[in-house]
């Protein structure tokens, strides 16, 4: 009987270093992307704007407060209006200042249909800017 050597050859040793080539490739691609997109993020167009007398710079647009109470009654600047009178008043405002903003404050119990009627009256009058006013939620104890 022939006996071979009982020694075994050692297998491949595990790699102890990290292959950095894929990491460097990814980083270079990201750097190129950032270099290409950075000029698009900040516009650096220098303008010498002309001067004109007219509206005051930064003048805020006019705003009307439209309140709908729990019963569905509409109040424009704290004065009660019927639906027809409200539509007429909104048309007057739109004719004088078409960029007027409506700040709509409606009670939480008002049906959605009533709010839509009032929004429709403002839209029909020519007022396109409607802002909804709400209160922030109460903090939880």
Q: Is the pLDDT of residue 56 over 60?
A: no
Backbone angles phi, psi at 14, to 5 degrees: -70, 150
Q: Is the pLDDT of residue 71 over 90?
A: no
Residue ranges per structural domain of the chain: 63-132
Range with lowest mean pLDDT among 2-6, 47-51, 118-122: 47-51
The CATH class for the domain spanning 63-132 reads: alpha beta
What span, in angstroms and rounded, lies between the C-alpha atoms of 66 and 73? 10
Q: What is the pTM of this model?
A: 0.54
User: What number of other Cβ atoms are within 10 A of residue 24's Cβ?
Assistant: 10
What span, in angstroms and rounded, lies between the C-alpha atoms of 3 and 29? 59
What span, in angstroms and rounded, lies between the C-alpha atoms of 47 and 79? 46
């Amino acid at each position: 009987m022939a006996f071979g050597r009982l020694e075994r050859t050692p297998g491949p040793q595990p790699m102890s270093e990290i292959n950095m080539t894929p990491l460097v490739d990814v980083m270079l691609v990201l750097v190129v992307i950032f270099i290409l997109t950075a000029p698009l993020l900040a516009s650096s167009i220098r303008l010498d704007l002309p001067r004109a007398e007219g509206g005051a710079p930064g003048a805020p647009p006019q705003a009307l407060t439209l309140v709908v109470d729990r019963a569905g009654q509409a109040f424009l600047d704290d004065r009660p209006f019927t639906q027809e009178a409200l539509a007429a008043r909104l048309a007057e405002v739109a004719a004088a200042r078409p960029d007027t903003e409506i700040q709509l404050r409606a009670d939480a119990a008002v049906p959605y249909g009533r709010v839509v009627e009032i929004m429709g009256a403002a839209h029909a009058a020519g007022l396109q800017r409607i802002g909804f006013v709400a209160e922030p939620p109460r903090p939880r104890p």
